[in-house]
Amino acid sequence: MKRTMYALMFVFALGLQMWATPTMAADEPAKVAGTWEISSEGPNGTMTQTMEIQQDGGTIKGTITGRRGPSPFEGTITGNKLSFSVKRQTQDGSTMVMDYTATVSGDSLTGKVHSERFGDRDFTAKRTK
């Protein structure tokens, strides 16, 4: 009887500890601050851009610079999942929003960029040293 009672108390305590334990490290945001070189295939061939990221926990912001100059962005990172949006002025004066989603693996990003004008495109990025 005592053994059963101790076993039940142990199982209860273990379950309580697992329930109360904070989220595991896998949910910690990946470290993405720094300079990245982005490549994607666009309607006019390969497009390369430079991206500067500042990070505060799960919040990111920065500037992405391409042939049309720099554009600011803001986004989030949860675990190894990154997302951010860039608003750009087009040649006709309208605003185009580009939504980026990516998976972080060390110094590499692999993802998709979506815009109403161009649809979905794959992109990759490498952190520069």
In a domain, 20, yes or no: no
The predicted model scores a pTM of 0.76
- The enclosing domain of 102 has a CATH number of 2.40.128.120
Q: Is residue 119 part of a domain?
A: yes
Domain membership of residue 41 (yes or no) is yes
Residue 12 falls within a domain, yes or no? no
Tell me phi and psi for residue 33, to 5 degrees.
-60, 140
pLDDT at 14 over 60: no
Report residue 123's pLDDT band, with 50, 70 and 90 as the boundaries.
very high
Is 66 within a domain? yes
77 located within any domain: yes
CA distance 56 to 13: 35
Of 15-24, 58-67, 117-126, the one with minimum mean pLDDT is: 15-24
Closest CA to 117 of 98, 93, 92, 91: 98
Number of domains observed in the structure of the chain: 1
Q: Which domain holds residue 79?
A: 25-127
How does 1-12 read in b/e, with b if 16+ C-beta sit within 10 Å?
eeeeeeeeeeee
